[in-house]
Structure 1
């Protein structure tokens, strides 16, 4: 039997193994969770008990960490423990962790139809390539990393399609204990995110003249060979929204707004799911299929007429 090891030793061995199989961005996310949460709490242990993990969960919740983030941390912890147990570096007993019932109503922030129209009209009248990116996100629901990675080659105006094939993100790269960041252009994390999105007639009308004169290899947001990165574009977006007197909506709210408009126009849920690049339709249903006050009032008025 192999000699029992401390968790930090198992983590080092797990990292060397895992790095061979996962995308660079995924590995970077794992490392951040390990460095910030797992090593400080479990690094010096030789065994992890369920009670220790349950206490860890309560501590992280009290520190303001979301349930989703904590569950992501536990996924990494389980991968490490299973790896160690398989190689007989430690003993691992599966644990069943309880989370407090989340009684807060989950909601997403979206633009009202009037605000969305105001933004899109403004962009049509005050064209810049960076403004065009906001218009595309409202019209196609693509993510900030995807719009930053979009090139003119990805826009097919002949067939009226946007081809989403890449994403840009800044990741943490930890080598020899030194933490630095790196901007990477890569394929999306899941195969569902690689998708083709039809262009609506207004967006197609804007894009067609440019396709005839731009360099197809240039990035859309910069119209240059060099892209802009998500945090820079997010900062630009915040300034634009403030100047237009819009609500303080996160950039991802543009994607939420696109999905909400699709649902409001009675687009079927499977189609919305595919357009958004969700891994399964339940993600779409959980996020967006909740009647808003306007929809509820409309249905009740229908009932009262009966």
Structure 2
């Protein structure tokens, strides 16, 4: 067996992987390699459990969250398996332990009154950019999906919006030079390619517009050229300041839509499909956290079924 360093294996793995994944996914892998894996393991020829465990604790102590560290290890394991498959290194099994003290942060959502306030304001103050925020609050679209939305994706006859693409700015590393690039991609996963019904107010808003707009233009700009997420995010922040609403991240609009669906007792499978989640577990973990009243009602129903 010809042993190679992780740096050498990673270089070959990158060339192989680039052929099979989206450009944005590849860019994310390269950043993880350059920022985390190669500085720690670049010259190593083996990856023992002890070495990986120390790396994990070091990254957690530096402020990274457990999910981020696990994402780094996923890439590291892919590189290692590629090296093993090609006979360049020996395989090592890891049983990594994580501290249990990390407190799960709750998601940030708009209050019902703030949710209504934004929708009411946009109905009275229509602009194409405001329309995007309205769509996010009533369909749960991600910011990249909103930026990538074209008029042709809005079906007036059936009253639906079809998510077909997303726009994102990704970090690239070419010849050790970092730069960014705006890319238009297919949706995040196959489940993210989805059809979402519009509520009556949204349908009434876009119906007259569809008669006069160019179907190939982007909704947010009503032009051939789209706006990028960073620019649109800044616009959203300014609007929230103008409305005197606590500034959530733009993704909080998606969380707010999902939370309102849960509060309305929509079934979880439907919510999961609307959000384009890969599986219902993601939806349950993010949004379904029963409060004490719900727990009491559940136990009450259980005893009622027993005839008590």
In 2: Cα distance, 1:299 partner to 1:95 partner:
41
* Structural mapping, 1:195-206, within 5 Å: 195-206=194-205
Q: 1:253 to 1:296 in 2, by over 3 A?
A: farther
In 1: Cα distance, 2:290 partner to 2:124 partner:
33
CA drift of 1:105 comes to 4.0
SS of the residue corresponding to residue 70 of structure 1 reads helix
SS of the residue corresponding to residue 266 of structure 1 reads coil
Aligned to 1:212: 211
Aligned to 2:41: 42
CA drift of 1:104 comes to 1.6
In 1: Cα distance, 2:277 partner to 2:155 partner:
22
In 1: Cα distance, 2:299 partner to 2:70 partner:
39
Q: 1:299 to 1:129 in 2, by over 3 A?
A: farther
Aligned to 1:183: 182
Q: RMSD of the alignment, in Å?
A: 2.0
Query: Which digits, 9 at most, give the CA deviation of each residue in 1:245-298, with x for residues without a partner?
Result: 111211000000000111111110000000000000010011111135786799
* Structural mapping, 1:114-153, within 5 Å: 114-153=113-152
TM-score w.r.t. structure 2 length? 0.94
CA drift of 1:140 comes to 0.2
Q: 1:296 to 1:112 in 2, by over 3 A?
A: farther
CA drift of 1:300 comes to 10
Greater mean alpha carbon deviation, residues 165-174 or residues 192-201 = 165-174
* Structural mapping, 1:42-191, within 5 Å: 42-191=41-190
In 2: Cα distance, 1:50 partner to 1:171 partner:
32
* Structural mapping, 1:287-302, within 5 Å: 287-292=286-291
Query: Which digits, 9 at most, give the CA deviation of each residue in 1:5-58, with x for residues without a partner?
Result: 111001101111111111111101000000000010000111111111111111
Q: 1:146 to 1:38 in 2, by over 3 A?
A: same
TM-score w.r.t. structure 1 length? 0.95
Structure 2 unmatched ranges of 5 or more: 302-307
In 2: Cα distance, 1:213 partner to 1:38 partner:
52
In 1: Cα distance, 2:229 partner to 2:294 partner:
34
In 2: Cα distance, 1:295 partner to 1:202 partner:
31
Q: 1:122 to 1:275 in 2, by over 3 A?
A: same
CA drift of 1:148 comes to 0.3
Aligned to 1:245: 244
SS of the residue corresponding to residue 50 of structure 2 reads helix
Aligned to 2:8: 9
In 2: Cα distance, 1:206 partner to 1:104 partner:
42
Runs ≥4 in structure 1, deviation > 2 angstroms?
A: 291-302
In 2: Cα distance, 1:249 partner to 1:128 partner:
21
Structure 1 unmatched ranges of 5 or more: none
Q: 1:74 to 1:182 in 2, by over 3 A?
A: same
Greater mean alpha carbon deviation, residues 147-156 or residues 239-248 = 239-248
SS of the residue corresponding to residue 29 of structure 2 reads helix
